C-alpha cells in the first residue's frame, strides 16, 4: 500500500539550510589564499554546493539544480588542483553564489528564477571550464531551465534490482536512511554485519539518485550502490518502512558521489532535519518568540500588580504569601531574562556581510583594504541587529570611499599602501558599542566648515571639533568632490543618525587628520525590557532609563544660577550643567516650582550631561516596554510606556531627545 507524502512541508527547512550554506560558501571563498589555497576550505566549498544541489534535485528546483551542478564540477576540479585559482575565477564563483541566492529566493517566494540570468551564469561557468581545459560536466541549458539529466557512468547501475551498502553508519542514521531509501522504491531485504548495513532495493532510480539522497546524511565514501540479481537473504528481511509514493528526486548529474575527506555534510535534507531525534537545536519562527516575550511581559506586570496589592497586608500574618510573592518575583525575572536571551543574536550575523562588500568596493575604487573584526560573538537583540545593517553598511562605504586613501596617496603620506578598516562590538553596561574605524586621512575641519557655511548652517570658527564632526549628519551634507555610485549625493549620514536615534541609540565621531576616523554607535541591548528609575512629578510618574542616570542630589540655593538667556544652570562640583525642569517640559500641574524643594537627577546622553529636576524619587525596577506610537501616538521626548503595579501607565523618558531639545529650550513639548 502506497501513501502520498507532501514534500512541500520540508521546503522551509531546505531554504534555511541552503541559505546558511551559501553564507558559509561566500566566507570561505573570500578567505581563500590564491597562492596556496587550503584543501579543507576548498572541500568545504565543494560540499556546500553539493548539498544544495542534492536538496534542489530532491525538490525538483530545476534551475538551482543545474546551476549548482555545473558550479560543483568546477569546484571539484579546483580542489583536485586541475584549475589554478585566480582573483577573476573567485569573482566568478562569488557571482555564481549571488545567482544561487537569487534562485533560492525565487523558489522561496513560489516563483521561477530569472531565465536570462540562469542562462548567462551557466554560460559563464561553461566558458570558464573550457578555458581551464575540459568542461563543467553539463552543457549550457536550453531556453527554459530543466533538471540536469546527464547519464550515470557505465559502472553505476541505472535502476532495477540494486544492492545499497552503507558503511560505518550509526544506528540513528541507519534508521533515517532506511526511511529515505524506502521513498525511492521497494526494500526487499536488509542485512547488518560488522557495522555495515546492506539494503536490497527494487527501484526505478539510478545509483546517482540514491547517492544524492544519502549524501545528505553520510559521506559519499560510505555509500556503495551495486547491481543485484534481486536475491536477498530471507532471514534478513526486516519490517522496513512501507514504501511511500513520493516524487522521485531528479537524478543528480555527478560522475560519482565524491568522497568528503572525513567531514560530514553541513546540511541534511529537510526530511532528515525534521526527523533527527537528537538535534542540538530547533528552528522557531520569530513570531512565536515575540509572542512568548509579550506573554512573559504580561506575567511580569501581573506579578508587579500582585506585589502592589500584597504590600498593604501585614507581613506577619501573611508571611507565607510574602514568601511566595518573593519567589514569584525571582522566577518571573529569571524567566524574562531566559526568554530575552532567545532573541539575542551574535554580531557576526552583521559583520559576516562586510568582507564581500569591502572586497568588491575596494576593487571598484582601486584601493587595497584589509577588514578586521572584533567582538563577533557580542550579542544584540534580533530586532535591533536587523535594523543596524543598513546604517553600518553606509558607514563602511563612507570609510572606503572618503576615508581610506588610494595606495599612491598612502605611500606618499608615509603609510602602508594597504588601508585598514576595523569593525568592533562590545558590551558596555546595558548598551552595545559598535565602532567603524579606518586609518585613512580623517575628516577635514576646514572643508566641513566651508560646506556648512555654503549650506547656510549656523556655525562659527571656534566651535569644537566634536561639534564640527556632527555637522556631517545634517541633511544633504556632503564634501565629496565627485558624485559616484558609491557616495557623494549628500544623502545617507542624516538617515544613519535618524535610524540610530529611532533605535534608542546615538552616534559619536572622533577623527584625527591624517590618522583616520572612528564612528561609534551606542545602542541598548534590547527594546523589550528596561532597567529604570521611576520619578514623580506632580501626580504623574515617569521612568528614566537607569543607564542614563549618573547620580541624584538635592540642589542648594547657591548651586542654582540663571544664565544670560534666562535658562537655569546648576553647579555640580565645579561643573555647570543645564537644569531642565521636567514639569515644564511636559506641562505637569501641581509640581514643585522651587528647585531646592525637589531632586536633581544628573543624566548623561550622547556624551553630554545635564540636570533634570523632579519632585521625588520612587525607586528602581525593571519595566516592560510598550510601544506608545502603536497604541496611541508619537509623543516628543517619550520613547515608550509601561504599566505599573497599580495598573497605571507611566511614560518612559527619551533622555537623548530631551537633551537635544529640552535643554536648549524650556518650552513645553506637550501643551
Query: What percent of the chain shows pLDDT beyond 90?
Result: 25
pLDDT tens column, 395-443: 999 899 889 999 999 999 999 999 999 999 998 877 889 999 999 999 8
pLDDT tens column, 144-185: 444 443 333 344 566 678 888 888 887 777 877 887 788 788
Give the pairing type, strands 196-203 and 160-167.
antiparallel
pLDDT tens column, 590-623: 888 888 899 999 998 877 899 999 999 998 887 8
pLDDT for res 156: 53
pLDDT for res 93: 93
Is 50 exceeded by the pLDDT of residue 552?
yes
Range with lowest mean pLDDT among 130-134, 416-420, 443-447, 464-468: 130-134
| Per-residue confidence band for 39, with pLDDT thresholds at 50, 70 and 90 | confident
Is 50 exceeded by the pLDDT of residue 249?
no
pLDDT for res 374: 93
Is 90 exceeded by the pLDDT of residue 544?
yes
Q: Please state the φ and ψ torsions of residue 4, each to the nearest 5 degrees.
A: -75, 140
Query: What percent of the chain shows pLDDT beyond 70?
Result: 83
pTM of this prediction?
Answer: 0.63
Q: Starting at the edge strand that comes first in sequence, how are the strands of the sheet with 431-438 ordered?
A: 368-374, 418-428, 431-438, 516-524, 506-512
Q: Are 125 and 70 in contact (CB under 8 A)?
A: yes
Cell of 79: 580542489
DSSP 180-208: HHHTTSEEEEEEEETTEEEEEEEESS-HH
Q: What angle do CA 43, 44, 48 make, to 5 degrees?
A: 115
DSSP-H helix ranges across 343-400? 348-351, 354-365, 382-387, 389-398
What is d(CA 171, CA 621) in angstroms, rounded to the nearest whole number? Answer: 52
pLDDT tens column, 197-214: 899 888 888 787 788 777
| Per-residue confidence band for 666, with pLDDT thresholds at 50, 70 and 90 | low
Amino acid at each position: 500500500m502506497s501513501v502520498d507524502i507532501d514534500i512541500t512541508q520540508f521546503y522551509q527547512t531546505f531554504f534555511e539550510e541552503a541559505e546558511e550554506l551559501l553564507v558559509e560558501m561566500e566566507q570561505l571563498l573570500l578567505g581563500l589564499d590564491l597562492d596556496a589555497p587550503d584543501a579543507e576550505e576548498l572541500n568545504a566549498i565543494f560540499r556546500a554546493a553539493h548539498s544544495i544541489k542534492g536538496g534542489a534535485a530532491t525538490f525538483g528546483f530545476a534551475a538551482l539544480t543545474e546551476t549548482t551542478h555545473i558550479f560543483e564540477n568546477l569546484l571539484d576540479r579546483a580542489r583536485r588542483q586541475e584549475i589554478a585559482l585566480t582573483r577573476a575565477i573567485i569573482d566568478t564563483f562569488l557571482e555564481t553564489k549571488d545567482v544561487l541566492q537569487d534562485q533560492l529566493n525565487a523558489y522561496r517566494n513560489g516563483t521561477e528564477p530569472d531565465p536570462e540570468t540562469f542562462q548567462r551564469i551557466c554560460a559563464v561557468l561553461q566558458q570558464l571550464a573550457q578555458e581551464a581545459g575540459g568542461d563543467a560536466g553539463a552543457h549550457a541549458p536550453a531556453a527554459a531551465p530543466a533538471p540536469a539529466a546527464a547519464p550515470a557512468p557505465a559502472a553505476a547501475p541505472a535502476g532495477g534490482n540494486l544492492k545499497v551498502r552503507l558503511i560505518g553508519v550509526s544506528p540513528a542514521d541507519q534508521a533515517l536512511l532506511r526511511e529515505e531509501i524506502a521513498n525511492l522504491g521497494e526494500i526487499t531485504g536488509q542485512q547488518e554485519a560488522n557495522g555495515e548495513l546492506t539494503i536490497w532495493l527494487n527501484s526505478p532510480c539510478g545509483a546517482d539518485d540514491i547517492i544524492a539522497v544519502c549524501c545528505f546524511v553520510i559521506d559519499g565514501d560510505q555509500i556503495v550502490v551495486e547491481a543485484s540479481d534481486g536475491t536477498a537473504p530471507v532471514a534478513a528481511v526486516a519490517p522496513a518502512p512501507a514504501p511511500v509514493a513520493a516524487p522521485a528526486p531528479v537524478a543528480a548529474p555527478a560522475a560519482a558521489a565524491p568522497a568528503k575527506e572525513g567531514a560530514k555534510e553541513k546540511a541534511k535534507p529537510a526530511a532528515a532535519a525534521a526527523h533527527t531525534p537528537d538535534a542540538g537545536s530547533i528552528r522557531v519562527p520569530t513570531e512565536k518568540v515575540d509572542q512568548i516575550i509579550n506573554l512573559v511581559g504580561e506575567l511580569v506586570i501581573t506579578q508587579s500588580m500582585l506585589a502592589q496589592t500584597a504590600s498593604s497586608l501585614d507581613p506577619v500574618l501573611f508571611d507565607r504569601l510574602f514568601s511566595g510573592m518573593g519567589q514569584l518575583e525571582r522566577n518571573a525575572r529569571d524567566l524574562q531574562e531566559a526568554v530575552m536571551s532567545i532573541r539575542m543574536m551574535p554580531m557576526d550575523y552583521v559583520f559576516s556581510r562586510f568582507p564581500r562588500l569591502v572586497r568588491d568596493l575596494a576593487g571598484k575604487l582601486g584601493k587595497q583594504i584589509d577588514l578586521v573584526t572584533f567582538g563577533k560573538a557580542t550579542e544584540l537583540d534580533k530586532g535591533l541587529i536587523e535594523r543596524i545593517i543598513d546604517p553600518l553598511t553606509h558607514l563602511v562605504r563612507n570609510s572606503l570611499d572618503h576615508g581610506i586613501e588610494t595606495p599612491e596617496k598612502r605611500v606618499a603620506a608615509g603609510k602602508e599602501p594597504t588601508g585598514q578598516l576595523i569593525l568592533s562590538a562590545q558590551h558596555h553596561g546595558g548598551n552595545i558599542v559598535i565602532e567603524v574605524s579606518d586609518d585613512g586621512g580623517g575628516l577635514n575641519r576646514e572643508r566641513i566648515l566651508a560646506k556648512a557655511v555654503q549650506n547656510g548652517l549656523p556655525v562659527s570658527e571656534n566651535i569644537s571639533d566634536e561639534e564640527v564632526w556632527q555637522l556631517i549628519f545634517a541633511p544633504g551634507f556632503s564634501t565629496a568632490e565627485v558624485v559616484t555610485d558609491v557616495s557623494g549625493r549628500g544623502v545617507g549620514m542624516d538617515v544613519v543618525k535618524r535610524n540610530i536615534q529611532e533605535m534608542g541609540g546615538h552616534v559619536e565621531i572622533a577623527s584625527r587628520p591624517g590618522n583616520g576616523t572612528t564612528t561609534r554607535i551606542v545602542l541598548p541591548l534590547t527594546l523589550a525590557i528596561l532597567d529604570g528609575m521611576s520619578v514623580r512629578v506632580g501626580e504623574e510618574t515617569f521612568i528614566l532609563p537607569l543607564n542614563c542616570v549618573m547620580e541624584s542630589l538635592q540642589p542648594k540655593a547657591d548651586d542654582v544660577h540663571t544664565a544670560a538667556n534666562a535658562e537655569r544652570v546648576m553647579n555640580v562640583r565645579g561643573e555647570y550643567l543645564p537644569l531642565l525642569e521636567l514639569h515644564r517640559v511636559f506641562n505637569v500641574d501641581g509640581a514643585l516650582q522651587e528647585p531646592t524643594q525637589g531632586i536633581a537627577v544628573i543624566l548623561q546622553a550622547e556624551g553630554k550631561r545635564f540636570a533634570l529636576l523632579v519632585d521625588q524619587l520612587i525607586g528602581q525596577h525593571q519595566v516592560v516596554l510598550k510601544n506608545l506610537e502603536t497604541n496611541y501616538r508619537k509623543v516628543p521626548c517619550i520613547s515608550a510606556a509601561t504599566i505599573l503595579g497599580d495598573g497605571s501607565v507611566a511614560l518612559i523618558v527619551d533622555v537623548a531627545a530631551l537633551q537635544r531639545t529640552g535643554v536648549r529650550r524650556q518650552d513645553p513639548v506637550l501643551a
